[in-house]
Structure 1
Amino acid sequence: MRDIWEEHLHCSTCNKKAEQIILSKDNFKLRSWKCKQCRKTWNHPLDQVKLSEWQNIKDQEFIVKIREVGNSAVISLPKEILNFKNALNKDVVWKFKNSDELVLKF
């Protein structure tokens, strides 16, 4: 099945062909179309869903558990984070931002 991004989109207001553009919002690249004449924009539906998922979890505060297993410490991350990043079975980079903040990069 072809992706909608591969198709041409015509503006419903002025019936002109919309150009494909890439917008950036909250560090997301949104594939979008913009009508040059009336300046109306449409986001790719799949990109819009991912952005909405991010906006739903970004301001939540998650409580995680740290426990010891043998000589290692294990941090349990909430499923919402793992599902959002499809992070299961992927390497994660841990980095201290300052003395009391730890940053995870998927």
Structure 2
Amino acid sequence: MAIVAYLAVASDGSLHGEVFETDNAERFKGSFCPLADGSSGTVKEDLYRAEGGTWIKNTVILNSRRGSEVGDTSTYTSISQADARDWLKQHDYTETLSRLLA
């Protein structure tokens, strides 16, 4: 079990820290893509649905070809249900859309 800290976005747009347990969250895996800036880095996004229905996006930027080196970043941020719907559509999670966001 991993407990992960993330940035939660409040209704007024402010940020505050929260945590969730990965074992109690549903995970949707994204794919690895090159960074849009044309560098040799790679980005990967995964989406989690935590207990209580909070959607949390994990964005990992690998700045080296080997990964797990200095300069790599992993950020967890809550996103809106509308943004979660868009992410799930983009990553072909059609069954999940009908099950969770109908």
TM-score (norm: length of structure 1): 0.23
Richer in strand (by share): 2
TM-score (norm: length of structure 2): 0.24
Between the two structures, name the one with larger relative contact order (CA 8 Å, sep ≥ 6): 2
- The higher radius of gyration belongs to 1
